[in-house]
């Protein structure tokens, strides 16, 4: 592997600038003449807009312009779209209500943008935004999806009667019913998957700049996928033509999915820049982030598992109601369907599965993909059910899982996915050994002697990453292909620039992508520059989400490197008068195998650019591009084991130990992978113990600040015991599966399984706050 | 827009004179007041910044053995003052369990005494609140009131006092030194706060224009130094207010409790000193039974003000445990997680 090649724990190159405060984020960007924007936002969850009076605000100091939804519509700016078409089981297309970037007639959630104020300073813009008088007529409100489906519930969109967006199914209902009729035991569970607020460290921001001289638009924005933003903003929102629009996503401080979507603010800032003639910058504050960043999860699910007399799973039946909020966000339809129900087979051989998902409008912030996106919800359903069934049957949860593991690959599940590889026994064994499951009973007794309740919980998750084969997702309704592109630009001195359509917002791509070059040519990673996040620089790309940058993005780089290597070898063979097949490149040298004939890598590169002595007919230069379209999803899997201690006097839960044994396929940088797992676990444990999103009956978000929304802190987390176990993914050249989301996907059920084990009551919802644990304990006392 | 005048006096007398203007408010570090102003809860027309007054930033040992803490001493500075935390470890522990490190670095001890309730209805100008707007009613009654008072509340107000620091001060008989137009006076902290009654907007005995200049801890409080703890139970381990907290201090001689001190936080609109619990402990051996008896006594008069009956049971458990922790002895070093129930058994913490 070399010191900096594949598998090396190379320190993150990008951290030098991050930890010295030199990262450059959208809010750090400045353009001559730039002014500041503030949005007028609805204080009501559901209201008709009867009028908008900007007269007082227009006269306030520093105000340059105030623009509203009617003007936006008048300029032909299109409504926000959902990029994945999902049809109901009766064949009807999903029922989507209109979402204008600035509301002009109706507001449907607290925080929805109604107007933009542009002023000389941010403070002036905010003061003037407060002075804009909107005449609202309040309408009845519904915030819970189950309530929204009931007769007589307040109606959000005329396009979606009964607030039902789609009623979708997957799997074989008849076969599932048949299996249930033969069941020796049925385990039933109602599951609530709590709504989460993503909370990346950097709030969203946008800087729109229209240049009349060139008739050109530039938008700096906090995006995980700048090319998608350009495509959507030009093709659907008509803000600017694609060839005259440059999107730059510079350093971005975390996204977790919430920065995939193209939000009203960046559209409006760019449009406002043209309307007002000044560059317009908006930076979200934390309160706005709570009220406008797409939320995650929010499912209510009834699950039933049928088992035979030998404790083999016969079938799984799942009914889910998914709250999509007030509008359909960009990938909101895919998250509770094709990213969720397709994973309901878990790591188990389940002959029949049927899932029914109803997606519902409510007067809440739109819900979309958030770290894991559908897969955490599926894993929570499957792994809570597995643990519950094992307890009901009085058998070891580990042995019950083992009994039902899939062991031969490829394995076609009844819910679309074809698992290509895996070794679930290996991760289960590794997890149980690291967690010292054998010694748990003694630890439980010791804790009991101190008046504490210990519990052990397990979760054997599988997820689908490497999103995704374009043909497959196209057939399932996706509006885009999900390939990735790369360009490898070798300079005449031998240094290398990688231009990638993946986007790094914390993942460490600048390091791991460079390691591919180090592996291939033996060059130091410092000789590699990774360029991303700018549509004027990078050819094209689909961005970063769904743990795809390794399996898809790096595969594209791998393909481009193949082409560079082939051409470099041709040039070297010509210069060294050797056979192309005898050329090897290692440690920065290009050698003829078995001889002492060699050239420096830089000599070959220079030769490519001088063109003085190239093979006949060869074009000068050394620069190659590639598009990589995956052939299948990848399937990271693993076993998480959580041990908790509950204090029965206060209901507080302390995580004593958390073990993660993951199979991510090939690992490029183990340190970065560990970091991804740690971060994912923190988010998953946050969901399980702390993070609850609550609306009151009027649709006000009660948990809209860090005083009310509990983010996990260092204290809430133990030192994690993580390990990886490689079964290579056969579907891509590097054998990678992806590691970005596993921690958040696998951990919540492990935590809840552990607490319910400790307290002897299976009725416990996330977040398992001390109050809920106390109540659950009281119920069994 | 919230327009106000900003004044930066250079002496206490000047500050008191400036406060003669109605609608004035004293500004310490602003960690509470500025939030309330931004939220529209309070809108003073004159802010008198006290943070530049001379001579209010000292921690001094007085000749009689008592300790005097200037009102502008920062929370963090006091908690980390070696002599202070040795003499009054539960006060230091209480200070370090409050807010966040950043806030403790900014907040002053005088301001801590004057912080306002965290009742959500008080903080929401759209809700009825007799404290914010006398006579408007109380939306906390019948509302979301899991965190509200179980002792000393009235039909006008069920809010609680949020301070940790003041609970430990109350257990140790601190006094508050006040200066006003009429000169200086001292008030025991147990008399400083007013229960809501029919006038919940009146929170302390401070007269208009009076300034807290110092807090004094008596010399005899140091007699409890070997057996005092602060225990705070909250919904998360940092940056949260207490559901119930307790400051417990014991004098133990020959295996018998000679004197006990107990004050409770999060249960009433003032730090709640429990004379009944203290009396119940005197002369007993420090056993679990004794502590449970004291806990019963401490909450004998408690009654729920809403959906918070659980706080009575929780409070009893907290009191019994705080007393047990005090009896076990003040830890050599400040626990890595001050006042946390997690750290109670061994003093050691799993993850730190």
ipTM of the complex: 0.75
CB spacing of A771 vs B310 below 8 angstroms: yes
Q: B236 and A654 in contact by Cβ < 8 A?
A: no
pLDDT value for A211: 97
Q: Does B318 touch chain A (CB under 8 A)?
A: yes
Nearest Cα of chain B lies from the Cα of A121 at a distance, in angstroms, of 15
Specify the pLDDT at position B77: 97
Tens of pLDDT, residues A231-263 = 999 999 999 999 999 999 999 999 999 999 999
| Average pLDDT, integer, range A687-712 | 95
When pLDDT is cut at 50, 70 and 90, the band that residue B96 belongs to is very high
Alpha-carbon distance A589 to nearest alpha carbon in chain B (angstroms): 48
Averaged pLDDT for residues B35-61: 95
Mean pLDDT over all residues of chain A?
97
CA distance A484 to A558: 11
Q: Which residue has the tokens 């933009």?
A: A116
Radius of gyration of chain B (CA): 20
Q: Do B239 and A719 touch (CB under 8 A)?
A: no
CA pair distance B339, B153, nearest whole angstrom:
26
**Helix (H/G/I), strand (E/B), else coil: A348:** strand
Which of A713 and A599 is assigned the larger pLDDT?
Answer: A599
Tell me the percentage of chain A whose pLDDT exceeds 70: 100
Q: Which residues of A424-444 are buried (b: 16+ CB within 10 A; e: fewer)?
A: bebbbbbbbebbebeebeebb
- Read off the pLDDT band of A707 (50, 70, 90): confident
Contacts of A472 (CB under 8 A, 6+ apart): none
Instruction: Return the closest-CA partner of residue B148 out of B129, B168, B170, B176.
Output: B129
pLDDT tier, B60 (very low <50, low <70, confident <90, very high otherwise): very high
- Which CATH architecture group holds A483-628? 2-Layer Sandwich (3.30)
Contacts of B314 in chain A (CB under 8 A): 650, 774
Question: What's the order of all strands across the beta sheet hosting A113-119?
Answer: A63-68, A113-119, A35-41, A280-283, A205-211, A216-221, A245-248
Domains delineated in chain B: 5-49 (3.30.43.10), 226-328 (3.30.390.50)
Interface contact A717-B351, CB threshold 8 A: yes
pLDDT tens for A105-156 read: 999 999 999 999 999 999 999 999 999 999 999 999 999 999 999 999 999 9
| B338, B261 Cβ separation under 8 angstroms | no
The whole-angstrom separation of Cα A94 and Cα A87 is 5
Minimal CA–CA distance to A264: which of A290, A298, A294?
A294
Which chain A residue has the Cα nearest residue B231? A650
Looking at residue B1, its pLDDT comes to 55
Q: Mapped to the 3 state alphabet, what secondary structure does A276-290 carry?
A: HCCCEEEECCHHHHH
Residue of A nearest to B315 (CA): A650
Mean pLDDT of all residues belonging to chain B? 94
In A, minimum Cα distance to B147 occurs at: A771
Alpha-carbon distance A590 to nearest alpha carbon in chain B (angstroms):
51
Do domains A420-461+636-781 and A483-628 share one topology? The answer is yes
- Classify residue B253 as exposed, middle or buried by CB count within 10 Å of its CB (0-12, 13-18, 19+): exposed
Q: Which residues of B touch A647 (CB under 8 A)?
A: 341-342
Rounded Cα distance between B232 and B325, Å, is 12
Q: Which of B233, B236, B350 sits opposite A650 (nearest CB)?
A: B233
Q: Are B236 and A710 inside 8 Å of each other by CB?
A: yes
Helical pair B288-298 and B310-328, crossing angle rounded to 10 deg: 140
> Closest to A650 (Cβ–Cβ): which among B238, B239, B341?
B341
Question: How many residue contacts between A and B have a Cβ separation below 8 Å?
Answer: 49
pLDDT band at A271 (very low <50, low <70, confident <90, very high): very high
- The per-residue pLDDT for range A493-547, each reduced to its tens digit, is 999 999 999 999 999 999 999 999 999 999 999 999 999 999 999 999 999 999 9
Q: For residue A650, list chain B residues with Cβ-Cβ distance below 8 A.
A: 233, 314, 317-318, 341
Residue B99 contacts A, CB cutoff 8 Å: no
> What DSSP letter does each residue of A501-513 carry, written as one string?
SS--SSS-HHHHH
**pLDDT of res. A2:** 63
pLDDT in tens, A280-325: 999 999 999 999 999 999 999 999 999 999 999 999 999 999 999 9
Model pLDDT for residues A400-453, shown as the tens digit of each residue: 999 999 999 999 999 999 999 999 999 999 999 999 999 999 999 999 999 999
**Between A130, A649, A690, which is nearest B236 by CB?**
A690
Least Cα distance to A393 among A315, A454, A461, A305 occurs for A305
The answer, for B317 touching chain A at a CB cutoff of 8 Å, is: yes
By the CB < 8 Å criterion, does B345 face chain A? yes
Percent helix, percent strand, percent coil in chain A, to nearest 5: 30, 25, 45
Domain boundaries, chain A: 420-461+636-781, 483-628
**How many angstroms separate the CA atoms of A486 and A559, rounded?**
8
Contacts of A652 in chain B (CB under 8 A): 233, 341-342
Interface contact flag, B236 A716, Cβ < 8 Å: yes
Residue A670's pLDDT band (cuts 50, 70, 90):
very high
The 10s digit of each residue's pLDDT in B272-287 is 999 999 999 999 999 9
Q: Which residues of B touch A127 (CB under 8 A)?
A: 1
CATH architecture of A420-461+636-781: 2-Layer Sandwich (3.30)
B233 interaction partners in chain A (CB closer than 8 Å): 650, 652, 770
Q: Tell me which of B338, B350, B352 to substitute to probe the interface with A (most A C-beta atoms closer than 10 Å).
A: B350
Provide the percentage of residues in chain B whose pLDDT is more than 70: 97
Q: CB contact, 8 Å: B352 with chain A?
A: yes
Residue in A652, A698, A777 to test binding to B, most B beta-carbons within 10 Å: A652
B345 interaction partners in chain A (CB closer than 8 Å): 450
For residue B285, which phi and psi values (nearest 5 degrees)? -80, 150
Is B351 close to A450, i.e. CB distance below 8 A? no
Read off the pLDDT band of B345 (50, 70, 90): very low
Interface touch B310/A652, C-beta < 8 Å: no
> What is the model's pLDDT at position B343?
63
- In terms of Cβ atoms closer than 10 Å to its own Cβ (0-12, 13-18, 19+), residue A100 is buried
Mutate to test the interface with A, among B124, B342, B345 (most CBs of A within 10 A): B342
Give the best residue of A649, A768, A774 to mutate against chain B (max B CB count within 10 A): A649
Judge whether B222 is closer than 8 Å to chain A, CB to CB. Answer: no
Report the relative pairing of strands A720-724 and A653-663 from DSSP bridges: parallel
From A655, A675, A518, A653, select the one nearest A585 (Cα to Cα): A518
Looking at the partner chain, which of B318, B321, B337 has a beta carbon nearest the beta carbon of A715?
A: B337
What DSSP character marks residue A438? G
The answer for B 110-149 residues in CB contact with A (under 8 A) is: 146
Q: Do A652 and B342 touch (CB under 8 A)?
A: yes
């Amino acid at each position: 592997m070399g010191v900096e090649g594949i598998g090396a724990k190379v320190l993150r190159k990008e951290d030098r600038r991050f930890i010295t405060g030199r990262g450059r984020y959208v809010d750090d960007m400045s353009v001559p003449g730039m002014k500041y924007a503030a949005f007028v936002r609805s204080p009501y969850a559901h209201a008709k807009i009867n009028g908008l009076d900007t007269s007082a605000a227009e006269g306030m100091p520093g105000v340059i312009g105030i623009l509203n939804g009617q003007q936006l519509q008048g300029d032909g700016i299109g409504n926000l779209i959902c990029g994945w078409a999902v049809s109901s089981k009766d064949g009807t297309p999903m029922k989507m209500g209109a979402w204008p970037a600035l509301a002009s007639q109706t507001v449907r959630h607290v925080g929805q943008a109604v107007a933009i104020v542009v002023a000389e300073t941010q403070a002036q813009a905010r003061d003037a935004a407060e002075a804009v008088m909107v005449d609202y007529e309040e309408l009845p409100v519904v915030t819970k999806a189950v309530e929204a489906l009931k007769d007589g519930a307040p109606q959000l969109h005329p396009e979606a009667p009964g607030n039902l967006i789609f009623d979708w199914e997957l799997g074989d209902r008849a076969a599932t019913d048949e299996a249930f009729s033969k069941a020796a035991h049925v385990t039933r569970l109602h599951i609530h998957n709590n709504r989460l607020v993503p909370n990346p460290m950097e709030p969203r921001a946008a800087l729109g700049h229209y240049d009349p001289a060139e008739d050109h638009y530039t938008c700096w924005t906090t995006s995980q996928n700048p090319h998608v933003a350009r495509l959507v903003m030009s093709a659907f929102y008509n803000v600017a033509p694609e060839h005259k629009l440059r999107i730059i996503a510079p350093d971005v401080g975390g996204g977790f999915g919430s920065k995939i979507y193209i939000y009203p603010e960046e559209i409006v800032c760019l449009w406002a820049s043209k309307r007002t003639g000044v560059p317009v910058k908006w930076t979200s504050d934390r309160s706005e982030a709570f009220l406008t960043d797409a939320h995650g999860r929010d499912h209510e699910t009834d699950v039933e598992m049928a088992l035979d007399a030998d404790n083999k799973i016969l079938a799984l039946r799942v009914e889910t109601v998914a709250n999509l909020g007030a509008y359909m966000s960009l990938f909101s339809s895919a998250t509770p369907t094709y990213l969720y129900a397709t994973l309901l087979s878990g790591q188990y051989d389940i002959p029949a599965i049927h899932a029914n998902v109803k997606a519902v409008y409510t007067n809440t912030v739109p819900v979309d993909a958030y770290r894991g996106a559908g897969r955490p919800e599926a894993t929570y359903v499957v792994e809570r059910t597995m643990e519950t069934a094992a307890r009901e049957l009085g058998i070891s949860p580990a042995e019950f899982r083992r009994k039902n593991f899939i062991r031969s690959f490829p394995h076609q599940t009844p819910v679309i996915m074809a698992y290509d590889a895996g070794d679930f026994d290996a991760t289960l064994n590794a997890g149980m050994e690291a967690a010292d499951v054998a010694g748990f009973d003694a630890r439980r007794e010791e804790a009991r002697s101190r008046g504490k309740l210990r519990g052990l919980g397990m979760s054997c998750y599988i997820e689908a990453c490497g999103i995704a084969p374009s043909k497959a997702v196209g057939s399932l309704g996706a509006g885009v292909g999900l390939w990735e592109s790369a360009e490898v630009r070798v300079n005449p001195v031998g240094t290398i620039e990688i231009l990638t359509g993946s986007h790094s917002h914390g993942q460490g791509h600048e390091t791991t992508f460079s390691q591919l070059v180090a592996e291939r040519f033996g060059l130091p990673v410092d000789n590699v520059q990774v360029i991303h996040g700018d549509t004027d620089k990078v050819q094209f790309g689909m961005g970063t989400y769904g743990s795809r940058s390794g399996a898809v993005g790096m595969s594209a780089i791998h393909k481009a490197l193949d082409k560079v290597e082939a051409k470099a070898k041709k040039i070297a063979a010509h210069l060294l008068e050797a056979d192309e097949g005898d050329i090897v490149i290692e440690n920065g040298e290009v050698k003829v195998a078995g001889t002492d004939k060699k050239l420096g890598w830089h000599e070959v590169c220079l030769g490519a650019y001088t063109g003085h002595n190239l093979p006949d007919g060869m074009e000068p230069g050394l620069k190659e591009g590639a598009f990589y379209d995956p052939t299948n999803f990848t399937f990271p899997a693993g076993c998480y084991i959580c041990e908790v201690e509950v204090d029965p006097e206060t209901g507080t839960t302390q995580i004593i130990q958390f073990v993660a044994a993951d199979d991510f396929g090939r690992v490029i940088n183990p340190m970065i992978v560990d970091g991804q797992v740690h971060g994912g676990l923190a988010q998953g444990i946050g969901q399980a113990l702390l993070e609850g999103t609550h609306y009151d009956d009027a649709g006000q978000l009660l948990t809209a600040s860090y005083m009310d929304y509990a983010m996990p802190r260092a204290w809430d987390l133990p030192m994690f015991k993580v390990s990886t176990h490689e079964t290579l993914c056969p579907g891509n050249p590097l054998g990678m599966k992806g590691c970005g989301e596993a921690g958040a996907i696998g951990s919540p059920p492990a935590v809840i399984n552990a607490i319910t084990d400790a307290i002897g009551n299976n009725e416990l919802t996330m977040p398992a706050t001390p109050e809920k644990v106390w109540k659950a304990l009281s119920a069994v006392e | 827009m919230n327009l106000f005048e900003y004044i930066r006096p250079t002496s206490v007398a000047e500050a008191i004179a400036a406060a003669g203007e109605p609608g004035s408010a004293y500004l310490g570090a602003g960690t509470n007041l500025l939030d309330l102003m931004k939220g529209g809860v309070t809108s003073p027309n004159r802010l008198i910044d006290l943070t530049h007054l001379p001579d209010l930033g000292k921690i001094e040992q007085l000749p009689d053995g008592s300790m005097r803490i200037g009102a502008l001493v920062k929370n963090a500075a006091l908690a980390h003052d070696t002599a202070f935390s040795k003499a009054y470890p539960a006060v230091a522990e209480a200070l370090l369990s409050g807010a966040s490190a950043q806030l403790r670095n900014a907040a002053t001890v005088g301001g801590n005494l004057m912080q306002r309730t965290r009742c959500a209805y008080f903080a929401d100008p759209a809700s009825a609140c007799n404290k914010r707007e006398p006579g408007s009613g109380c939306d906390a009654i019948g509302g979301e009131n899991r965190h509200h008072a179980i002792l000393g509340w009235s039909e006008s107000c069920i809010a609680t006092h949020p301070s940790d620091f003041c609970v430990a001060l109350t257990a140790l008989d601190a006094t508050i030194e006040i200066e006003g137009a009429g000169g200086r006076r001292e008030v025991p902290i147990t008399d400083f706060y007013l229960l809501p009654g029919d006038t919940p907007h009146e929170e302390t005995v401070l007269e208009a224009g009076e300034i807290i200049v110092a807090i004094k801890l008596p010399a005899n409080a140091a007699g409890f130094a070997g057996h005092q703890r602060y225990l705070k139970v909250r919904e998360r381990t940092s940056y949260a207010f207490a559901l119930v907290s307790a400051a417990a201090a014991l004098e133990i001689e020959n295996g018998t409790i000679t004197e006990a001190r107990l004050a409770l936080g999060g249960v009433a609109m003032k730090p709640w000193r429990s004379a009944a619990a203290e009396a119940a402990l005197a002369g007993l051996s420090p056993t679990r039974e004794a502590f449970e008896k004291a806990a019963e006594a401490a909450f004998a008069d408690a009654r729920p003000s809403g959906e918070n009956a659980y706080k009575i049971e929780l409070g009893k458990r907290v009191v019994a445990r705080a007393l047990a922790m005090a009896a076990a002895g003040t830890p050599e070093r400040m626990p890595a997680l001050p006042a946390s129930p997690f750290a109670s058994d061994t003093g050691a913490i799993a993850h730190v």
